[in-house]
Amino acid sequence: MSDLKERTKEIQAGPKGRHRTVQVTVGNVKVGGGAPIVVQSMTNTDTADIEGTVTQVAALARAGSEMVRITVDRDEAAAAVPHIREKLDKLGIDVPLIGDFHYIGHKLLADHPACAAALSKYRINPGNVGFKNKRDTQFTDIVEMALKHGKTIRIGANWGSLDQELLTKLMEENAKSPNPIDARAVTREAMVQSALLSAARAEEIGLPKDRMILSAKVSNVQDLIAVYRELAARSDYAIHLGLTEAGMGSKGIVASSAALGILLQDGIGDTIRVSLTPEPGGDRTVEVKVGQEILQTMGFRTFVPLVAACPGCGRTTSTVFQELARDIQSFIRDEMPSWKTRYPGVEQLNVAVMGCIVNGPGESKHADIGISLPGTGETPAAPVFVDGQKFRTLRGPSIATDFKALVIDYIEQRYGGAGAKAPAVTAAE
């Protein structure tokens, strides 16, 4: 019994305490040091296309991306960055922009000082910031540019573009070891060392810890977990999490959720990105929504009201509950940008849309407001529950419309201002 009590305490305590990291400021966003875990994303537009990039950054920011990374790969892209920043500011979108630099970042930042000033953070890859004798010089140039403009740097090691000199060195040392480990483990160690050695070099140049974020992205779930656990164990830098090249559709969502979920439960991670491959012409904001949902379902943050809905079975041959759940969820997401200011705390709302009498009433009672729709062969009536008590019974062809109206009324009465409260529960009709 004592073991059960201890296990119960552990479960009730929830996720492990957050890994203690040094807090970093990126534009107007706090990362690490106990700040809420930040959701970020990246555009897939040509940054030289100013209007297209502004449109996508705005969409990502409105969807909830708290930082947005853009590719800065050539002069035309670098020249466009200050104009992108200016147009976003005019739209009232103050989301920090992160410049993604590879190979010639030192040159682009030097040749385009307005770009260097407009960005809030520079992302560089120690595997391709420079090669051989040029590596230290070009790395130093970027760090000094960050110091000059008061910017943060993310040092992002990547499995697909790992520092080959470091990897070769570690492989040779491992081959000579009396107890060699497998090549994959050596590669993971190279990832960790690449990030940490680069961070140490940046500190030597003068960049403080509170201006650095580290990442070490791989595309395999188990490798990612191992690399980040080791990175966290050996440093207190702020950490960005992400499964690189996660994939398309459900594969990418499942892989990212599994990897990030385990690390977040371990207390590791200060900012995340879910790197989904969109369908051709698909909605880029999906990765933002998935990132938010990972954090919300795990209890780390709340972004939008939760809609609980049953999966359906032979008792629910009608599609009414599916359509209503979809409509309510879409309605909530669409309205959240304005609701955030009009109804403080509305993101805490729980709504239930259930399909039959088996679990419907019980689940609806657990929600703030819930409806139990009639299943196949059941009486054509839909009881609505408010704060655990039966509130009203809806009937007829307008059940979906009537319930949506009740949800709106509930939100207005509970979150509509000082002293607002939930609707009084009257005798059930």
* pLDDT tens string 217-273: 998 999 999 999 999 999 999 999 999 877 788 999 999 999 999 999 999 999 999
DSSP class of residue 382 equals E
Q: Is 115 annotated as a binding residue?
A: no
Average pLDDT, the chain: 89
Helices marked H in 129-163 — which ranges?
Answer: 134-149
Give the H or E element holding residue 67: strand 67-71
Residue 93 has a pLDDT of: 97
Helices marked H in 112-220 — which ranges?
Answer: 113-118, 134-149, 164-176, 183-205
Burial class (CB in 10 A: 0-12, 13-18, 19+), 157: buried
CA distance 151 to 117: 8
Q: Is 313 annotated as a binding residue?
A: yes
Fold of 306-416: Sulfite Reductase Hemoprotein; domain 1 (3.30.413)
Residue 11 has a pLDDT of: 46
Domain ranges of the chain: 24-298, 306-416
Find all residues with CB under 8 Å of 43, minimum gap 6, and list them: 53, 56, 57, 60, 68, 69, 70, 71, 284
Residue 275 has a pLDDT of: 93
Residue 326 has a pLDDT of: 86
Pick the CATH number of 24-298 from 3.20.20.20, 3.40.50.10810, 3.30.750.24, 3.30.360.10: 3.20.20.20
Residue 69 has a pLDDT of: 98
Q: Could you tell me what percent of the chain has a pLDDT over 70?
A: 92
Residue 143 has a pLDDT of: 96
User: Which position has the token pair 């035309």?
Assistant: 76
Residue 308 three-state SS: strand
The residue type at 252: G
Residue 374 has a pLDDT of: 83
Residue 155 three-state SS: strand
Those residues of the chain that have pLDDT short of 50 are 11-14, 419, 424-429
Residue 426 has a pLDDT of: 46
Q: What is the CA radius of gyration of the chain?
A: 25
Is the C-alpha dihedral spanning 194, 196, 199, 200 positive or negative? negative
Beta strand residue intervals within 205-292, DSSP E:
212-217, 238-241, 247-248, 271-272, 276-277
